[in-house]
Structure 1
Amino acid sequence: MDNESVDMDILQLEGIKVRPQSSVPAFVLLLLIYIFIMVSNIGLVVLISMERSLHQPMYLLFCNMSINDAFGATTIIPRVLGDVFTPMTQRYIHYYECVTQAFCAHLHVATSHTVLIIMAFDRYVAICSPLRYATIMTNRMVVALSVSAWTVPFILIVILVWLSVRLSRCRRIVLNPFCDNASLFKLSCENVLINHVYGLGTGMLMMAASFCSVAITYVRIAMVCLSSKSKALNSKALQTCATHLAVYVILLLSGTIIIILHRLQNVSDHRKLASILLHVVPPSMNAVIYGLQIKAVRERIIVIFTRKKKKILTE
């Protein structure tokens, strides 16, 4: 009995199917993407932290996104990289490691939505109430928004994963490239209706909340821009809002594709690839979009590289 219970704690990851001749290119490509995600996102956080001119609510709130993107990529990509050269029959993971990975993966996605919500609120105040912006978006407000952006998803995901952990297990194979909540409750032979309902309800709640907040924000901003004759205001609103909207659309499309593919038959390989892309595409795109599109950040990056170039030439 003891041996059987120990065996049930060692799960087998089906992973992604990679042909032997494609293993090296796939590994190198994914490794380069991971390095880019970590360097770009952590680099932006360091830049914003060190440059006093960027100590503004907009950029400080964006740090939450960069930290979350680095966290989400680290949750998934290193494990997938390790499995590229591992035969499918030898891809093992301990149950509690699987639970931890599932928790972190869902926390990353949920936090992505809540961070976009608080960033939408910041843009709303900045454009619709510019005279009150400094009094509303204080350091205390920035901290409160940041804490709430992490706390709310944390509580929701703790409940989500607990509903799966409480179930008994009768299977050992995880039909996914990494562990997520669906992988956990599919290990059970019990009735998992409550898991489906809560999981789908939580996912739809997050997407609906972020969609409504973004939609309301941009409707209000559009009304302000249409009624304003200031070209400077309209240009600033268009630039910052287009950046925020692009990031949101990428996240929304990635999440929607996963939800659809999870409920379709005979699309296992497509679902696996899409689940990995959810933790690869948004983190790799967000830093590029914000780093290159936001003028203040772009200028600071150019100044830093210019200084380094001059220093090298003088030496």
Structure 2
Amino acid sequence: MKNQTTITSVLLMRLSDDQKIIYVLFTLFLLIYLMTFLTNFLIILLLLTCTHLHTSMYFFLGNLAFLDMSYSSVTAPRILFDLSTQDWSISLPECIMQIFFVIYSGTSEVFLLSSMSYDRYIAICHPLRYSQVMSWGMCTQMVSLVWSSALLAPIIFTLCLKRLTFCPNFIQNIFCDLSHLLKLSCTDISINLLVFFIVGGFFGTVTFVATFYPYVRIFSTVLKIRTSDRKRKAFSTCTSHLTVVFIFYASTTFIYYVPNTNNLLTLNQVVTVLYTLITPLLNRLIYSLRSKDLKAAQQKVLHIHVVMSVRLTSSMLSIDTG
């Protein structure tokens, strides 16, 4: 069916009408976005340059860093633009395109977290076979499958939006979101909801089982370990991943499954901001703080830069003196 919309743009939710608050929010969000982009870019750079980090675990972590960097770039620049111009409107094609990339990023992340669960399962439950099973070829195939199969859900969801006609209204969110855009539809959305329920339910169930079932096996294996040191070491290798998984599922569940009643609307908006802007930065910090190898690599790179800066300064001073 040809898409005959009654509107060409939609209005996004205003965060505030107070100019002082707008300045504070713009500065805060800009700093968070820059930190997110730069820190995730740094982690990718470290993983590419430090040969001792060329393992399957850090290969998946590099992809997660790239994904977080991409996801924040889908939403943050638009939010900053709206804050700076106070123009909270967005064209319908741009809105649908943003929905596509938001869904793609979310789907890719949950697939990637599932792959990382499998990696931890092999490392703890089958350590002698780890290097054989999680070979470079295997990791590359898994990541390729993650990025390609994650396209299916956003393609289906956005194509289903083409059959709808939208009426003038505003989205109760700071960026375009599928559930909020559907509320603007003037036509019946029952088919859309059915498709979303089937596709979303299938992907959700498969990825949930693929993410958490390996940890059932991991915990049962760890509990059989007799020495407390080995138990602690085994659990510590999973802490970062489990923390990121918990944050992802908790925030996603709250945003998409808790009804937006008047009492919870403000809280929902706060969680949305946290999930959109802070979670990509938080993921990076969690892994950096928990990984000794990453901290050592960062300190080494920082030391090299400091030494080079000192030598360059000394050279310039000696030239000036001469």
Does the TM-score normalized on the shorter chain lie above 0.5?
yes
Aligned 8 A contact 2:5 2:166 in 1: no
AA matched with 1:244: H
Aligned 8 A contact 2:6 2:168 in 1: no
Output one character per residue of 1:30-51: Cα deviation in whole Å (capped at 9) or x when no partner.
Answer: 1111011101111111110111
Aligned 8 A contact 1:13 1:175 in 2: yes
In structure 1, distance between residues paired with 2:275 and 2:7? 29
AA matched with 1:108: S
How far 1:246 moved relative to its partner?
Answer: 0.6
Which residue of the partner structure matches residue 12 of structure 1? 11
In structure 1, distance between residues paired with 2:157 and 2:77? 24
Aligned pair in 2 of structure 1 residues 57, 277: CA closer, same or farther (>3 Å)? Answer: same
In structure 1, distance between residues paired with 2:234 and 2:252? 27
Residue 99 (structure 1) aligned with residue 96 (structure 2):
yes
**SS of aligned partner of 2:90:** strand
Aligned 8 A contact 1:171 1:187 in 2: yes
Aligned pair in 2 of structure 1 residues 59, 83: CA closer, same or farther (>3 Å)? Answer: same
Aligned pair in 2 of structure 1 residues 202, 265: CA closer, same or farther (>3 Å)? Answer: farther
Aligned pair in 2 of structure 1 residues 216, 68: CA closer, same or farther (>3 Å)? Answer: same
In structure 2, distance between residues paired with 1:132 and 1:199? 40
In structure 1, distance between residues paired with 2:187 and 2:6? 19
TM-score normalised over the length of structure 1: 0.89
Which residue of the partner structure matches residue 231 of structure 2? 234
1:1-315 correspondence to structure 2 within 5 Å: 8-87=7-86, 90-171=87-168, 173-229=170-226, 233-265=230-262, 267-314=264-311, 315=314
Aligned pair in 2 of structure 1 residues 152, 122: CA closer, same or farther (>3 Å)? Answer: same
Which deviates further from its counterpart, 14-23 or 42-51? 14-23
Which deviates further from its counterpart, 20-29 or 256-265? 256-265
How far 1:260 moved relative to its partner?
Answer: 3.2
In structure 2, distance between residues paired with 1:109 and 1:229? 39
In structure 1, distance between residues paired with 2:186 and 2:290? 50
Aligned pair in 2 of structure 1 residues 18, 29: CA closer, same or farther (>3 Å)? Answer: farther
How far 1:74 moved relative to its partner?
Answer: 0.6
How far 1:85 moved relative to its partner?
Answer: 3.6
Tell me how large the CA RMSD over aligned residues is: 2.3
**What runs of 5+ residues in structure 2 fail to find an aligned partner?**
315-322
Output one character per residue of 1:164-184: Cα deviation in whole Å (capped at 9) or x when no partner.
Answer: 122123335333211121233
Aligned 8 A contact 2:5 2:164 in 1: no
**What runs of 5+ residues in structure 1 fail to find an aligned partner?**
none
Instruction: State the identity as a percent.
Output: 26
How far 1:209 moved relative to its partner?
Answer: 3.5
In structure 2, distance between residues paired with 1:222 and 1:25? 45
How far 1:273 moved relative to its partner?
Answer: 3.1
AA matched with 1:297: L
